[in-house]
Amino acid sequence: MSSGQAKCDASVQDNGFETRDFYLACFLRCTGYELLDLRAEGRRKVFVFRDRPSRRDDVLSFYGDGAMVPPLAFSTTVKDMKALLHNA
Tell me which residues of the chain have a pLDDT lower than 70: 1-14
CA–CA separation, 44 and 20 (whole Å)? 8
CA–CA separation, 12 and 78 (whole Å)? 23
CA–CA separation, 53 and 80 (whole Å)? 26
Model pTM? 0.82
Handedness of CA 80, 82, 85, 87 (dihedral sign): negative
Q: Residue 16 forms beta bridges with which residues?
A: 13, 50
pLDDT of res. 2: 41
Q: Convert the pLDDT of each residue in 44-67 to its tens digit.
A: 999 999 999 999 999 999 999 999
